[in-house]
Chains A and B, each alone.
Chain A
């Protein structure tokens, strides 16, 4: 039955390949980004909930605010 369902879609063989490629690439890019992202930006983002109310500057204006 499973075969019939999948055979009725044109070029269904490409589906799992596309899915795998999407997943693989997405997570590779994500991990690459996370490992290489600017450290001061991470510190800035981390501080958003705890520093609120006292902080009037944005990361782009003053990157050294949160060492």
Chain B
């Protein structure tokens, strides 16, 4: 058959590689800053744009979507063309994908420090950016499916299945989790409330890990590992099982992020069962990767690319064993809300995503620039710095997580908490936080060395923009003889639809009852919508990222009830959150839980504490918030906020928005009068007044109902 001549587009791959390296360095540097802030609060720099609460989402978004995201695109744009023996479907779409994605990253880098956030983890970006993400993602999928349809190779290699699953699932997750009611161009409220919002968020959050950080990288592993080792994957049969079982099972596991919370028990159990099942496909994949190197282990000693990949695949195996263990309720009771989870995600992030990206870059750059790697010894140095960095990061975090958790739960012989003051448990683990920052610094140093090495490599070579290739055209209609899956691999659209159905089943079975939960959550009659002033305060709480360090979820443990609500003995109930758009349960307790903080301290305590935390609580690592005392709330927004919330089901009476500011002022004046009694002068419009109103409201509804029943 006549061979066709065509060119592979390497320029788009180069663009994504540059973006990967640049945003990788930025994301890690921001992460290091956040790590230092946790033991040296002065690194919050006393500006509102650089405090931990705003920096933390900047770090997670930068490393997940900018670093790993660009690496994923670079890897896919290179391998897809070669596996299908065709150029990308459209150069224009490729470049829209590239520039669109970078614009989204820039928008995130501007809005997050400004405090423009939805507060939902890894989905913090506000609604206009959400729409942009959807559009760019569709362009990526369109380009990919178009390329698959124009292929010269009939069968889709397993890596491409993982790419397709990534596209389909991330699209579904992003759209469902981003339903929100805009208040203005920079502010929206989640469509869902409380328990529902939590389930949708963690269905999203878990599967963002699964389908943004895992499946695309498994696709990359199945392509670049055989490439680097120059031998085919160990078992293609295993890879088929790996793929289908992974996408079938992963989508169910989200509720394991909400064990012991107010989420219904059946959903929690479902999450646990599927998480345990996930060990099988994950380890199948890991073994498949490692066994690909059988007979080539001698080369692992010499080739930095293989070294990085071996550690990456091993880290994948460790993280995917640890994940299911963490979803057992007894383990979760210790680990949840602590640094253990931080260690877990960084084994995955630094080890699996980071190291696979580094291995891929060390393999790709010399090929694209038609030269040899500038320095193998520098790459080896990077490898050892990175590996030590991961160890120095993870081990202190495990120690710190377990230490703090045990301290939270320790009772003395009289039946009282040994460490009644939460701060004692924080101070105890600060040395571990310092070691963690050292680990992060090592890892970042390695990445800087890599950047230098890659730049020198590119400089000594010459970039091949268009790589010529030839292949026979793919003649449609030739009959397959390898069974149904064989047929499936030659029908990409059908394949995409089936993958879509596989991920939808889990989602629907989890979601349908949850969407009915609303009418079934036991109503607590004393739970009322927030007052206008509290609403403003809550939005400040969201803006400052308080949820990064403070949970609002007292789990049903004796130690937690005793610590957070000794007077009434109430753990958190689903009915308390029915007006919480979005939910603010949080996932990490760097500071204490706040669900029952209302009424615990005086208004002036909160006032002084927010102004200078360590003057009120010695050794506190909470940053000061002086701008809350200078900035005023925007009362002209009150009506829009009330209207938006009413549209999504909060029962504010019709017309209330017209008089809401009168209530707001009355409540603010009351707080100002309280403060005045303690010799504190402040304007009733100051943001701190609204925040105090919100903090003093937390938990009061439940206490009121308890007192009424007495």
Bind each other: yes
Inter-chain contacts of A35 with B (CB < 8 A): 237
A40 vs B244: C-alpha distance when bound (angstroms): 22
Tell me the minimal C-beta distance from A31 to chain B in angstroms.
Answer: 7
Instruction: Give the nearest-CB partner of B252 in chain A.
Output: A19
- Inter-chain contact B520/A46, CB cutoff 8 Å: no
Stretch at the interface among B16-24, B152-160, B349-357: B152-160
Inter-chain contacts of A27 with B (CB < 8 A): 245
Verify if A13 is at the interface (C-beta below 8 Å from B): no
A5 vs B520: C-alpha distance when bound (angstroms): 6
Inter-chain contacts of A57 with B (CB < 8 A): 472
Inter-chain contacts of B232 with A (CB < 8 A): 46-47, 49-50
Contact of B155 among A23, A49, A59 (CB under 8 A): A59
Inter-chain contacts of A1 with B (CB < 8 A): 264, 520-522, 574
- Inter-chain contact B513/A42, CB cutoff 8 Å: no
In this complex, the member of A22, A33, A41, A48 whose beta carbon has the largest number of chain B beta carbons within 10 angstroms is: A48
A58 vs B151: C-alpha distance when bound (angstroms): 12
- Inter-chain contact B240/A34, CB cutoff 8 Å: yes
- Inter-chain contact A2/B265, CB cutoff 8 Å: yes
Instruction: Enumerate A1-45 residues with CB–CB distance to B below 8 Å.
Output: 1-2, 4-6, 8-9, 15, 19, 22-23, 26-27, 30-31, 33-38, 41-42, 44-45
Inter-chain contacts of B230 with A (CB < 8 A): 50
- Inter-chain contact A30/B264, CB cutoff 8 Å: no
In this complex, the member of A15, A34, A61 whose beta carbon has the largest number of chain B beta carbons within 10 angstroms is: A34
B241-262 CB mask vs A (1 if < 8 Å, else 0) is 1001100100000000000000
Inter-chain contacts of B79 with A (CB < 8 A): 49
Stretch at the interface among B479-487, B543-551, B595-603: B479-487
- Inter-chain contact B226/A50, CB cutoff 8 Å: yes
Contact of B83 among A41, A44, A52, A56 (CB under 8 A): A52
B219-238 CB mask vs A (1 if < 8 Å, else 0) is 00011001100111100110
Tell me the minimal C-beta distance from B203 to chain A in angstroms.
Answer: 16
Instruction: Give the nearest-CB partner of A22 in chain B.
Output: B505
Instruction: Enumerate A48-67 residues with CB–CB distance to B below 8 Å.
Output: 48-50, 52-53, 56-61
Instruction: Give the nearest-CB partner of A53 in chain B.
Output: B469
A59 vs B159: C-alpha distance when bound (angstroms): 18
| Given A22-B505, A46-B233, A58-B472, A52 contacting B82 (CB threshold 8 A) | yes
- Inter-chain contact A42/B223, CB cutoff 8 Å: no
Tell me the minimal C-beta distance from A9 to chain B in angstroms.
Answer: 7
- Inter-chain contact B154/A59, CB cutoff 8 Å: yes
- Inter-chain contact A49/B157, CB cutoff 8 Å: yes
- Inter-chain contact A45/B484, CB cutoff 8 Å: no
A60 vs B245: C-alpha distance when bound (angstroms): 28
- Inter-chain contact A37/B486, CB cutoff 8 Å: yes
Inter-chain contacts of B479 with A (CB < 8 A): 60
- Inter-chain contact A48/B83, CB cutoff 8 Å: yes
Contact of B241 among A5, A23, A34, A60 (CB under 8 A): A34
A48 vs B517: C-alpha distance when bound (angstroms): 49
Verify if B183 is at the interface (C-beta below 8 Å from A): no
- Inter-chain contact B481/A38, CB cutoff 8 Å: yes
Inter-chain contacts of B618 with A (CB < 8 A): none
Instruction: Enumerate B526-543 residues with CB–CB distance to A below 8 Å.
Output: none
- Inter-chain contact A53/B82, CB cutoff 8 Å: yes
- Inter-chain contact B233/A15, CB cutoff 8 Å: no
Tell me the minimal C-beta distance from B306 to chain A in angstroms.
Answer: 15
Contact of A41 among B85, B158, B241, B486 (CB under 8 A): B486
- Inter-chain contact A56/B470, CB cutoff 8 Å: yes
List B residues at the A interface (Cβ < 8 Å): 1, 3, 79, 82-83, 85, 153-155, 157-159, 222-223, 226-227, 230-233, 236-237, 240-241, 244-245, 248, 264-266, 469-472, 474, 478-486, 489, 505, 509, 512-513, 516-517, 519-522, 574
> Could you name 12 residue pairs across A and B whose Cβ atoms are closer than 8 Å?
A1-B521, A26-B248, A27-B245, A30-B245, A38-B482, A45-B155, A45-B236, A47-B232, A48-B155, A49-B157, A49-B159, A58-B154
Q: Which A-B residue pairs are the 10 nearest by beta carbons?
A: A46-B232, A41-B482, A48-B157, A46-B236, A34-B237, A38-B482, A4-B520, A2-B266, A5-B520, A56-B472
Given contacts A9-B513, A37-B483, A56-B1, 20 further A-B contacts (CB under 8 A): A1-B264, A5-B264, A9-B516, A15-B509, A34-B241, A37-B482, A37-B485, A41-B482, A45-B157, A45-B236, A46-B232, A49-B157, A49-B159, A50-B230, A52-B85, A53-B82, A58-B154, A59-B154, A60-B480, A60-B481
